[in-house]
Structures are given as C-alpha cells and as structure tokens.
Amino acid sequence: MTVSATPTPKTKFSDLTRMPDARGHFGPYGGRFVSETLSFALEELEKTYLSLRDDPDFQAEFDYDLAHYVGRPSPLYHAKRWSASLGGAQIWLKREDLNHTGAHKVNNTIGQALLAKKTGKPRIIAETGAGQHGVASATVAARLGLECDVYMGAEDVQRQKLNVYRMRLLGARVIPVESGTRTLKDAMNEALRDWVTNVDNTFYIIGTVAGPHPYPLLVRDFNAVVGREARRQSLEQIGRLPDALIACVGGGSNALGLFYPFVEDDDVAMYGVEAGGDGVETGRHAAPLASNAPRGVLHGNRTYLMSDEAGQVSDTHSISAGLDYPGVGPEHALWKDVGRVSYVAANDKEVLEAFRELTHMEGIMPALESAHALAHAKVLAPTMRPDQHIVVNLSGRGDKDIMTVAKIDGIEF
Amino acid sequence: MNRIDQRFSELKQQGRKALIPYITAGDPAPQYTVGFMHALVEAGADVIELGVPFSDPMADGPVIQKACERALKQGTRLVDLMQMVKEFRQTDTTTPVVLMGYLNPIERIGYENFADQAASVGVDGVLIVDMPPEEAEEIGPLLKSRDLAAIFLVAPTTSNQRAATICAHGEGYLYYVSLKGVTGAATLNADDVAEHLAPLRGMTDLPLCVGFGIRDGVTAAEVAKVADGVIVGSALVNRIAESVDAPETIAGQLKSVLAEMRTAMDA
C-alpha cells in the first residue's frame, strides 16, 4: 500500500465531525480526482454550497420542503413483535420508507435541487442503481420544471422496471448504460461523461456520499436530518440514546445520514452493513469495507475499492441494485480505520429472510437494500438484553423489489 | 535533459510543430503495440502517448472505452506496458514516450514502484487524467526525482487562477483539452483554441499541445498554426477498431493517417 498508508490512529471521534478538510479529504480518503474540465464546476459548486450551508434562509427553505413536500419528520417505529420474536434488544425502525418517493434519497435531491436552482442551470442529470435516486431526482426536476436525464445500468433497467417507468411518467429520460458491468458504477461513469460535455447548463445530482469533493460533504449534510430526528426521537420515545445503530451501506448515504449526528456519542455502537452477495468468502459480493478491499481511486475520490491486482475495478454482485457498487463513501473509509463504525456484510440469502420476516411480522415491506440492515439486526438483537435498544434505518420501501422477489419465488406476472 | 524537452527544443529550432499520437496499449492485443509505436515514429510522430487501459475510463468517449475493453480482455496490465516501452527502447532511444491513463492502476502497484519501473524502462512523462496538481503532492516529487515529466491538462473551463497553478506544476508540455466533452467527441474550433492559448503563453514557457477533436490533416494543420503540438487519439484508435480482424493491416493504416497529418502540418 502506497498512499499515506498509515491510518489515522490519532483521530478522536470528536474530530470526525470536523471532516472533511478544505480540500475534501477525510484523512487519506476523499479528495477531488477528476479530469480538469470538471474542476471549475466543482469549485463553483463548493463555493455555492459553503456560502449557503449556514444561511438561515437556505436552511429554512430546505426544512420547509422536507416538512411539506417530503413529509418529515419520519416516524421512529418500535417493531415490538419482531423484537419479541428475536428475543433480545428492542428494535426501532427509522421509517425513511414513508418519505415521499419511498426512500431517504429524496432528502438529498431536495437539497441539491435547491442548489441547482441557485446556480440557474436548466438541466439536471443523475445516476441511479435501484432507481430510488433516479425517481427522487426526476421528482424534484418535475417540481422545479427542470429537464432531467437519468443514467442507469442496462442490467438495473431490467431488474428495476417499475422505477424506470416511474421516472418516465415523471418526465425524465432514462438512458440505459451498456458499457462495463452495466450497473451503478457504469451509470456514474456515463453521468460524468455527460457532465463534462454539458457542464455549462447541467447540474449533476450525485446520489450518494461518494464522488469528488464537495459531494460527499453535501450529501451527508442533506441526509443528516435522519440522524438528528432519530436522536431526538430516541430521547423522547426510549428516554435515552439507543445502544446501537444499523444501516445498510452501498455508497453509504443513508448510513452517514443516520450515524453522523451520533458520532460523538461514544456509547452508541454503529454497524454499517454491506452487500455480501453470494458471501464475502466467495468473492462475489459488493462489500469493499467488510472484505478489506485495497485502497483505490474511482469517481473522483480515494476510498476502499474492490479492484484486481492490476488496479482494474472488480465486478460486484448483489441482489440489490442500490448496493451493487465496488467503492464506498470516503467518510466511511475513515470511520472504518479509526474504528468508529463496524462494517459487516449480509449475504443475499440472509437479506431475503429478513425481507420476508419484517413483511410478515410487522406489515412493513422493506427495500432489499434496507433488508441488509435488518439482516444484521437479526444477528445482533439476540446477543443483547431486552432493555437495550437498536435503531435500524429502514431507508426505503420494498415495492420496487416485488418483481425481484417474485422471480426468486418462481412467479411470473 | 529529458527526451521531451530535447524533442521540443529541436522542433523549435526547426520551426516545426509536434505531432503526438495516442494509442491504447494492448489494443487489439499486447503483441502489436511495440510495432505500432515504431510505425507511428516512421510516419512522423514526435512524442508517443501510450494509453494505460482502465476498466472505468470516465473522461473517454466510446472509441477509447472500447479500446480499453479490448486491451483488458487480452489481459494488458501496467507492468506489461513497462515491458513494451523497454522493448521499444531497444531500437528507439530518442522518441519520448508518455504514459497516459487513470490513477487507480498506479495506486494499486504503488507510486514509488511505478516511478522506479517507468524510469528504468525509459518512460519520459506521465499524464494521469483524473489527477489534477492538487492531488499530485505525493507522486509529484517521486516523478521529479527520476526525471519523469508530470504532464497536466488545461481545459476551456479552467480559470486563469487554476491555469497559473497548473503551469507552475506542469512539466514536459501542457495538454490543452480543446473542447468540453470526452475524447473523440466533436470537431474543435481552431479560433476558440487560439483564444484560450493566448493567456497561457503569458504564464508558461512550456510547449502548448492541443488534443480532443483532431480528426484529419485539415484539423491538425489548423491547430498546428496556433499551438506547439497536435495530439491525436480517437482518429487512430478508430482504425484499430475497424481492423481488429485483420491486425496485420493496422500498422500500415496508422501510418497513413498520421502521415497525412504530418504532411498537412509541415506544408
């Protein structure tokens, strides 16, 4: 390993809230690794965002949209029956699935759409995996009357047909990406190629806490509303902070959104659950942190990145299109190194079990992405006492995955 | 003196402009690359940019994306490129060779290891598309101490302030990206290019070379009037793509494409 190979053992948890540095670095991770044509647009975005970040008017506009358009705050729901059946800690679900458009993704797209409006660009583009970020982007574009093109891997277009049609109904153009592995990473390559060509009139809404600076920073900030609410709701409903937080991690935006406001609460354990695919031991997965992938640079940032010995990015495998990504947000990479968050993986089989269990026992159908977090709750809860509490980010709803699950059950519509 | 500096100083004395072809190493298969390099020199190449294939070439259009896919399918790795340059140097000790690609393959083998290998086989410059000078603090000194030129891009969107930073860090030549877009996208406008090059002249003595959108002798000659060098990639790689089934014909085709440009530029 070459690049600033020493982790950052001296980083205190309280220092984590002050990341990134002025150039977008989270310790050795993050940064702005882009071709020169995009540097100007990123500098401009950074300037715009930093000037608005603490602006009360901007914040008020954001909060208003979250309340009246998204429907926040989302509930913190005590899954009593499921908790009792697991026979351990009490499980609380942060119901991001109840947001408008059905996932946490909209928190970020609302924020970035406000930025797009400030910059006066008439067109937005987005990449999407499961389609949730694409739907959220198409939604805000419809609302603001902006042109919207969404890049989606051709394989994901196949497995997420419902979301593709939703985006089209909303007036967006969905562009299937046939290059590479035809999944999320290729969609992001293609979106970057579009942006470099149309940078003058186009705002790129990145859907996760990865990409070049300032995206990891601003996507985290816009999603941190999840953790701020969950923290307040825990104090109100549990009477104290939870003992553990669990969230799934692809790029990692819902996890950072939940974790970030708790980062200085040393007694709150945190678990990020990556996509184990066929099992981390098989090599067919999408778990760069849990599998200890080497460091690398992709899509503008340095992070843990699944790649072969020659530095070519590896194919990933997961039942969930939204987690099917070889890298991970740079802030997660740092949090792994300093030991603030434990990163684990749940494999496809465990995820499906959790999906079915929550649906049967609580009448809540989770997105397959979110079911990764639930799968780890199934492992963790029984090791804890009934007077202990876990908050799980139920980051999205499962309607979009019905076809995938039906296919596994051998049902054709 | 680095071969790149040597070459540009010779060209200046002769009042000629540099012709810089790009090919992706290992396309359509590794055994052809060194032969292509020699063919390009015979047709009038002054510097060769040798592309390091990458799985996710974000700044490249479909032509070079597919070239990367073909090269990777044949298992071409960065260490194989080093061998190609070594072999090329057995008979050509004067033509500068620049490795061009993305950062991840270099990160994976390690910056110091990369710099050592590149210097020992006779590489002269390195252009990493997704590494602006701000992110080059660590690799920069490793390249410099081995007399490897760190070549950077300047784009139409680059502010004067950024351009000054890039000029201060750049070595070998400046690669001016003629248009907003990916490689192989559109045809450039020579007047626009001239307008953007003018302020750069005031900032640096580095040769200004222009790439993206140069398709034929006509565009090459137009650009040569305002720049110190002309970089051509997709127009060559296209020929490789069209003849993957008859690879023995490719060297001849590359020569004819490049020779046409050379003639037009020197006229």
pLDDT digits (tens, 9 = 90+) for A286-312: 999 999 999 999 999 999 999 999 999
Domain assignment of residue A12, yes or no: no
Query: In terms of Cα–Cα distance, which of A22, A28, A24 is closest to A8?
Result: A28
pLDDT for A19 equals 86
More confident residue, B10 or A37: B10
pLDDT digits (tens, 9 = 90+) for B140-162: 999 999 999 999 999 999 999 99
* CATH number for region B3-266: 3.20.20.70
Chain Cα centroid distance, residue A362: 24
pLDDT for A9 equals 47
With an 8 Å Cβ cutoff, the interface of chain A facing chain B consists of 1-4, 23, 31-41, 43, 179-180, 185-186, 189, 192-193, 196-200, 294-300, 302, 305, 307, 309-313
CA distance A196 to chain B (A): 5
CA A196, A198, A203, A205: dihedral to nearest 10 degrees?
A: -50
- The two tokens of residue A278 are 């066929």
* Integer Cα distance of A52 and A406 in angstroms: 45
Residue A330 preceded by cis peptide, ω within 30: no
- pLDDT band at A277; cut points 50, 70, 90: very high
- pLDDT band at A67; cut points 50, 70, 90: very high
Compare CB distances from A32 to B58, B135, B154 and report the shortest one's residue.
Answer: B135
Q: Is B49 one of the annotated active-site residues of the chain?
A: yes
Q: Say if the Cβ atoms of B111 and A312 lie within 8 Å.
A: no
Domain assignment of residue A264, yes or no: yes
Q: How many CB pairs under 8 A join A and B?
A: 131
pLDDT reading at B189 higher than 90: no
Domain assignment of residue A15, yes or no: no
ipTM, 2 decimals?
A: 0.95
pLDDT reading at B248 higher than 90: yes
pLDDT reading at A18 higher than 90: no
- pTM to 2 decimal places: 0.95
Q: Say if the Cβ atoms of B72 and A32 lie within 8 Å.
A: no
The DSSP result for B31-67, as a single string, is GGHHHHHHHHHHTT-SSEEEE---S--TT--HHHHHH
pLDDT for A298 equals 97
Domain assignment of residue A135, yes or no: yes
Percent of chain B residues topping a pLDDT of 70 = 99
- pLDDT band at A76; cut points 50, 70, 90: very high
Q: Is A320 one of the annotated active-site residues of the chain?
A: no
Domain end among A214, A239, A265: A214
Of the listed ranges A320-324, B37-41, B172-176, the least confidently predicted one is A320-324
User: A140 and A90 share a domain?
Assistant: no
Mutation choice for A interface testing from B52, B54, B55, B158 by most A CBs within 10 A: B55
- Residue B239: CB atoms within 10 Å: 18
Closest chain A residue to B160 measured between Cα atoms? A40
**Which amino acid makes up residue B66?**
K
pLDDT for A181 equals 85
Closest chain B residue to A308 measured between Cα atoms? B108
pLDDT for A10 equals 54
Q: Are A393 and A225 in contact (CB under 8 A)?
A: no
* Integer Cα distance of A126 and A134 in angstroms: 6
Domain end among A156, A188, A214: A214
pLDDT reading at A2 higher than 70: no
Count up the domains in chain A and report the number. 2
User: A324 and A386 share a domain?
Assistant: yes
B153 touching A, CB under 8 A? yes
Q: Say if the Cβ atoms of A296 and B79 lie within 8 Å.
A: no
Can you tell me which residue has the tokens 């402009």? B17
Query: In terms of Cα–Cα distance, which of A290, A248, A291 is closest to A105?
Result: A248
Domain end among A185, A214, A243: A214
Closest chain B residue to A299 measured between Cα atoms? B58
Compare CB distances from A179 to B65, B138, B159 and report the shortest one's residue.
Answer: B65
The mean pLDDT of A373-384, rounded to a whole number, is 98
- Determine how β-strand A90-95 pairs with β-strand A389-394: parallel
User: A117 and A260 share a domain?
Assistant: no
The mean pLDDT of A315-340, rounded to a whole number, is 95
User: A390 and A308 share a domain?
Assistant: yes
Residues with Cβ < 8 Å from B71, sequence gap 6 or more?
A: B24, B25, B26, B27, B28, B30, B53
B181 touching A, CB under 8 A? yes
Mutation choice for A interface testing from B107, B138, B139, B161 by most A CBs within 10 A: B107
User: A52 and A96 share a domain?
Assistant: no
| Active-site residue identified among A96, A127, A190, A274 | A127
pLDDT reading at B230 higher than 70: yes
Provide the residue range defining the domain that includes A79. 73-103+220-408
Residues with Cβ < 8 Å from A60, sequence gap 6 or more?
A: none
What interhelical angle do B111-121 and B78-89 show, nearest 10?
20
B192 touching A, CB under 8 A? no
Residue A214 preceded by cis peptide, ω within 30: yes
- pLDDT band at A94; cut points 50, 70, 90: very high
Looking at the DSSP bridge assignments, the partners of residue A274 are A345
The mean pLDDT of B58-87, rounded to a whole number, is 96
* Integer Cα distance of A155 and A133 in angstroms: 16
Cα–Cα distances (Å) from A30 to A289, A298, A302, in that order, read 15, 10, 5
Among B residues 204-263, those touching chain A with beta carbons less than 8 Å apart:
none
User: A55 and A186 share a domain?
Assistant: yes
Domain assignment of residue A1, yes or no: no
Of the listed ranges A41-45, A369-373, B96-100, the least confidently predicted one is A41-45
Query: In terms of Cα–Cα distance, which of A337, A342, A336, A340 is closest to A380?
Result: A342
| Active-site residue identified among A105, A121, A378, A400 | A105
Can you tell me which residue has the tokens 């969905």? A174
pLDDT for A11 equals 57
B162 touching A, CB under 8 A? yes
Cα–Cα distances (Å) from A274 to A88, A250, A284, in that order, read 23, 6, 13
More confident residue, B112 or A18: B112
For chain A, the first-to-last Cα distance in angstroms comes to 50
Can you tell me which residue has the tokens 């007047």? B191
Q: What are phi and psi of A187, to 5 degrees?
A: -60, -40
pLDDT digits (tens, 9 = 90+) for A223-265: 999 999 999 999 999 999 999 999 999 999 999 999 999 999 9
Angle subtended at Cα B169 by Cα A218 and Cα B10, rounded to the nearest 5 degrees: 145
Can you tell me which residue has the tokens 């809404």? A205
Q: Say if the Cβ atoms of B180 and A196 lie within 8 Å.
A: yes
Q: Are B223 and B189 in contact (CB under 8 A)?
A: no
Q: Are B21 and B45 in contact (CB under 8 A)?
A: yes
Q: Say if the Cβ atoms of B131 and A33 lie within 8 Å.
A: yes
Mutation choice for A interface testing from B70, B114, B157, B161 by most A CBs within 10 A: B157
Cα–Cα distances (Å) from A226 to A14, A76, A259, B218, in that order, read 20, 10, 9, 58
Cα Rg, chain B, nearest whole Å? 17
User: A326 and A364 share a domain?
Assistant: yes
User: A163 and A288 share a domain?
Assistant: no
User: A54 and A91 share a domain?
Assistant: no
For chain B, the first-to-last Cα distance in angstroms comes to 30
Chain Cα centroid distance, residue A143: 23
Tell me the chain B residues in contact with residue A198 when contact means C-beta distances shorter than 8 Å: 180
> At A394, which helix (H) or strand (E)?
strand A389-394
pLDDT reading at A367 higher than 90: yes
B138 touching A, CB under 8 A? yes
Angle subtended at Cα A119 by Cα A37 and Cα B191, rounded to the nearest 5 degrees: 40
The mean pLDDT of A324-330, rounded to a whole number, is 96
CA distance B43 to chain A (A): 30
User: A188 and A310 share a domain?
Assistant: no
- pLDDT band at A15; cut points 50, 70, 90: confident
pLDDT for A4 equals 44
pLDDT reading at A268 higher than 80: yes
For the stretch A52-55, contacts whose Cβ atoms lie closer than 8 Å and that sit 24 or more positions apart, written own/partner, are A52/A115, A52/A118, A53/A221
Domain assignment of residue A110, yes or no: yes
Q: Say if the Cβ atoms of A36 and B152 lie within 8 Å.
A: yes
Domain extents for chain B?
3-266
* Integer Cα distance of A205 and A191 in angstroms: 10
Q: Say if the Cβ atoms of A36 and B61 lie within 8 Å.
A: no
Chain Cα centroid distance, residue A304: 16
Q: Say if the Cβ atoms of A311 and B132 lie within 8 Å.
A: no
Domain assignment of residue A372, yes or no: yes
Can you tell me which residue has the tokens 């139920």? A394
Which parts of A195-243 are beta strand (E)?
202-205
* Integer Cα distance of A39 and B244 in angstroms: 36
Compare CB distances from A36 to B72, B158, B182 and report the shortest one's residue.
Answer: B158
Cα–Cα distances (Å) from B26 to A311, A313, B53, B231, in that order, read 16, 18, 8, 20
pLDDT for A5 equals 43
The DSSP result for B87-155, as a single string, is HHHTT-SSS-EEEEE-HHHHHHH-HHHHHHHHHHHT--EEEETT--GGG-TTHHHHHHTTT-EE--EE-
CATH number at residue A37: 3.40.50.1100
User: A266 and A378 share a domain?
Assistant: yes
User: A304 and A316 share a domain?
Assistant: yes
Tell me the chain A residues in contact with residue B134 when contact means C-beta distances shorter than 8 Å: 23, 32
* Integer Cα distance of A155 and A404 in angstroms: 13
Domain assignment of residue A316, yes or no: yes
* Integer Cα distance of B262 and B267 in angstroms: 8
